[in-house]
Amino acid sequence: MRMLVLDLDSLRPDHLGCYGYHRETSPNIDKIAAEGVRFTNYYTSDAPCLPSRTALMTGQFGIHNGAVGHGGTAADLRHEGPKRAFQDRLVRESLPGFLRSEGLRTVLISPFAERHSSWHFNAGFNEIYNTGNCGMESAEEVTPTVLDWVKRNAKEDNWCLYVNYWDPHTPYRVPSDFGNPFENDAIPEWLTEEVLENHKRLVGPHSVHEIDMYWSNPIPQFPRYPVEIKNMIDMKKMIDGYDCGVRYMDEHIGRIFKELENQGLMEELVIVITADHGENMGELGIYGEHGTADHGTCRVPMIIRWPGMNQGHVDNGLHYSLDLAPTLAEMFNKPAKTSWDGASYASVLKSGETSDREFLVISQCAHVCQRGVRFGDWLYIRTYHDGYHLFDKEMLFNLKEDPYEQNNIASERKDICKEAVYYLNEWHDEMMKTMDYDIDPLWTVMKEGGPFHANGHLKMYAERLKQTGREDAIPKLKKRHPKEFE
């Protein structure tokens, strides 16, 4: 058996042709989607980067594995404590550890462990190639390492090659000689002048005024990346920058496919294409970031082409990224590990029989502290720390009517909010019952001063608000976060 896993950082499903995007961003990915199964409601349980990949690799929610943030105590995997054996459980119960125990040579091409000091990400791999630029790689820095490994090893049997690409991740940095294949293409039609004017009234990191978190200082080395969206020209530059990242990455993925085809291996290869998280492009008024527990940040693509299994199928069921490990276990005719929180959807791959959930709970503790509940047509978000965005404590969106989260209807549909809170409490009760600790790491983040990317920045941001004529937001921020003004 041979398997290729493509983990494509910050990739939104709806900016891929196979998910209905009007721009030709992904012809190589689209071809694989047409030959396999495409999942439309697939979510990371814990965002952004470090929590998401930790959940994927451990098969556990962040509330169980402990890693929910980008700094502080809750950025580290929980120790196993007195129950730890000579080897920890990641040796065989991590996603690559399981594959290795099934006889596959596991190979990782990624700088991710170094980027976040998340060394547990490497657990279970036989070979590790760090591409060396801590996640600031462009595809031309990654592809040569992949092609070299493929040329030397691909004809051997029983391997899983896991590859990270980073090009859709901010700041958008595709080489200038790539040009702009979308120069004459319209941006998504929902992004109008009216939407932009509404967003100009919002505050917080990665708003239209501060695309680069808290600032709008020019970044000459990243000309594709606008630092402020003042008008629709800037808006197009923002969307084009992201889409160029997707298209550039897709072309490099095509080179890998071509080499595998030349070696006569493409037809028998299992291919998994997914992402750690999406990228907000206007959802909640945020641009170029993955900083909330919402549809824009937490929904990811999942495409699986498994020779001999379902082809050209679309599954609309609710699934988590951490469901991948138990799914692979079932495909290998092995039981899921008791430590895993996920549920197998192997039936979708085998026969198209759905394995839908009633609801999902998605979390974010690096930029804000939020938990969202995804069920039916609804997305409910509960905010514990707003990351200086002045979000309402409760937000509710009908994703069928409002897929870009522009109209919070929580006050109008208290009945739906109550249903969502019931789901959230049911999930939380189950999580707390099935762990060896009585600490929810979301509250660890709160007690340590708030999410890493907000903690300690409010006084500085208040000065910027004064300088840019938005001082009316400061009293509201002081009321929300009085300790940070002391």
Locate the domains of the chain by residue range: 2-179+242-353, 362-485
Distance set, CA 318 to CA 30, 190, 323 (Å): 21, 25, 10
Distance set, CA 81 to CA 77, 86, 88, 248, 436 (Å): 12, 12, 10, 45, 10
CA-CA-CA-CA torsion for 424, 426, 427, 432, nearest 10 degrees? 120
Element (H, E) at 96: helix 95-101
Look-up of token digits 């400061």? 474
Prior bond of 82 cis (ω within 30°): no
Rounded to whole angstroms, the Cα distance separating 220 from 149 reads 34
Cross-strand partners of 304: 37, 272
Based on the number of CB atoms within 10 Å of its own CB, is 346 exposed (0-12), middle (13-18) or buried (19 or more)? buried
pLDDT at 268: 96
What does DSSP say about strands 280-281 and 287-289: parallel, antiparallel, or unpaired?
antiparallel
Q: Which CATH class is domain 2-179+242-353?
A: alpha beta
Rounded to whole angstroms, the Cα distance separating 177 from 199 reads 32
pLDDT at 486: 83
Based on the number of CB atoms within 10 Å of its own CB, is 63 exposed (0-12), middle (13-18) or buried (19 or more)? buried
User: Which residue ranges of the chain lie beneath pLDDT 70?
Assistant: none
CB 26 within 8 A of CB 252: no
Measured in degrees and rounded to the nearest 5, phi and psi for residue 480 equal -75, -40
CB 282 within 8 A of CB 15: no
Cross-strand partners of 364: 47, 370
Nearest to 397, CA basis, from 283, 254, 305, 479: 283
pLDDT at 355: 86
| Stated length of the chain | 486
Give the DSSP letter string of 264-319. Answer: T-GGG-EEEEE-S---EESGGG-EEE--SSSHHHHB--EEEE-TTS--SEEEEEEE
pLDDT at 396: 99
pLDDT at 437: 83
Number of C-beta neighbours around residue 156 at 10 A? 9
Q: Is 116 helix (H, G, I), strand (E, B) or coil?
A: coil
Distance set, CA 138 to CA 124, 170, 244, 280, 287 (Å): 26, 11, 12, 21, 21
State the sign of the Cα–Cα–Cα–Cα dihedral 324, 162, 14, 135.
Answer: positive
Supply 218's token pair: 């020019």
Rounded to whole angstroms, the Cα distance separating 18 from 129 reads 30
Q: Which numeric CATH code is attached to 362-485? A: 3.30.1120.10
Nearest to 162, CA basis, from 349, 302, 8: 8
Rounded to whole angstroms, the Cα distance separating 367 from 373 reads 18
Provide CB contacts within 8 A for 87, sequence distance 6+.
Answer: none
